[in-house]
Amino acid sequence: MDLSRLGAFVTKSITLEERPGNEPTRIVETRAGMLNAIGLANVGLQRFLKEKVPLLQKMPCPVIVNVAGHSVDDYTSASAAMDSLECVAGVELNVSCPNVKDGLVFGTDPKRLRSLVTEVKRVVPTKPLIVKLSPNVDDITATARAAVDGGADILSLVNTFTAMAVDINTRKPRLANVTGGLSGPAIKPIALHLVSRVYRSVAQSAEVPIIGMGGIQYWQDAVEFILAGASAVAVGTALFVDPATPNKIVDGLNQYLIEQKVDDLADLVGTLRLP
């Protein structure tokens, strides 16, 4: 796969301390989607610097590192380390993991989110700071605005939807964590709506670009997100079905631009024709 054609590669979440993750079972396939409760399993900052950075240095596309934490200090320590790495093009804050205790605390409370973003932006002066928003809130425009007010350079949305699945024979939840995050095509229409909402209510006027995600599998999905206001799109779950998905989307977008007689994809961002 030709990674050089992609806008960026986003890592899974890195935390200050190494984390083993949740007990299995960690994933369940659902209708047109996937439920996961991995629990931020990762090698931690120190091993990330030693073991993963050399791999990232060889990536033929920009690398965005996703950072998660339990406290403001966790986030700032890990983010500051990322800011100093030449191979890192941007830092994305995971304030919306539904699968760890306290994972949603920052992502659902606009005040705490704003102060977290302010603190992190202070230690990430040289790279774009992306804040990944949770859909598990009453009003996503409130957290979007908080992130922007705190200094987010880019918003990415949405993370997974808290959900569950039950084994009717054992009468137990299918995930050891009981609940997990739902992703895949099943969530696409909801994610699209949230991107559209955040774009019109917050991002457009603030001139903060959106990275849209949530169930994107085909280039047509990507176009929908772009029309709704996303400047870029990200693909996650669909990679497990077809690792060539991002390149197929790039091909499809190029073809679409030709057919639509549009020179630059940026000219399509937010051009949804509302009634």
Partner 1 sequence: MSQTRDQYAAEVVASIPLCQEHWKLVLHLQHFPTTAPGQFVQVACRDLELNYSQEQDLDWADDQPVQIDHAELSQRLAFLRRPFSLAGRRDSAGGVEIDLIHRVVGMGTDWLSRLKPGQKVQLIGPLGNRHTLPGQKSSDEAVAILVGGGVGIPPMIYLASQLAGRKAVAFCGAVTRNLLPLTITNAAVAPTATSIEPLYNIEEFATFGIPAVISTDDGSYGYQGFVTQALERYLDRYFMDEPARGRAIIYTCGPEVMMKRVAQIAEARRIECQVAVERAMACGMGTCQSCVIRVKKADPAAAPMPGSDWCYRLACTDGPVFLSTDLLW
Residue 92 makes contact with partner 1 by CB under 8 A: no
Residue 9 makes contact with partner 1 by CB under 8 A: no
Q: Which residues pair with 210 in a beta bridge?
A: 155
Residue 27 makes contact with partner 1 by CB under 8 A: yes
3-state secondary structure 155-184: EEECCCEEECCEECCCCEECCCCCCEEEEC
Among 7, 8, 9, 18, binds partner 1 (CB under 8 A): 18
Q: Which residue, 57, 58, 75, is CA-closest to 66? A: 75
Residue 256 makes contact with partner 1 by CB under 8 A: no
Site for partner 1 in 155-184 (CB under 8 A): 184
Residue 29 makes contact with partner 1 by CB under 8 A: yes
CB of 151 to partner 1, least distance (A): 31
Residues serving a catalytic function are 97
Task: State the binding string over 39-68 for partner 1 (x if CB under 8 A, else -).
Answer: --x-x---x---------------------
3-state secondary structure 186-227: HHHHHHHHHHHHHHHHHHHHHCCCEEECCCCCCHHHHHHHHH
Q: How far apart are CA 162 and CA 179, in angstroms?
A: 7
146 is written with which tokens? 């908080």
Q: Which is nearer to partner 1, 41 or 105 (CB)?
A: 41
Bridge-based pairing of strands 154-157 and 129-132 is: parallel
Q: Which stretch binds partner 1 (CB under 8 A): 18-26, 63-71, 110-118, 159-167?
A: 18-26
Q: What is the CA radius of gyration of the chain?
A: 18
173 is written with which tokens? 């939840």
Residue 99 makes contact with partner 1 by CB under 8 A: no
Among 3, 55, 244, 266, binds partner 1 (CB under 8 A): 244
Q: How far apart are CA 164 and CA 267, in angstroms?
A: 39
Q: Which stretch binds partner 1 (CB under 8 A): 70-78, 119-127, 203-211, 236-244?
A: 236-244
Q: Which residues contact 1 (CB under 8 A, 6 or more apart)?
A: 243, 244, 246, 247
Task: State the binding string over 184-223 for partner 1 (x if CB under 8 A, else -).
Answer: xx---x---------------------------xxxxx--
Q: How far apart are CA 120 and CA 137, in angstroms?
A: 22
Among 5, 7, 25, 206, binds partner 1 (CB under 8 A): 25
Q: Which residues bind partner 1 (CB under 8 A)?
A: 12, 18, 20-21, 24-34, 36, 38, 41, 43, 47, 184-185, 189, 217-221, 237, 239-244
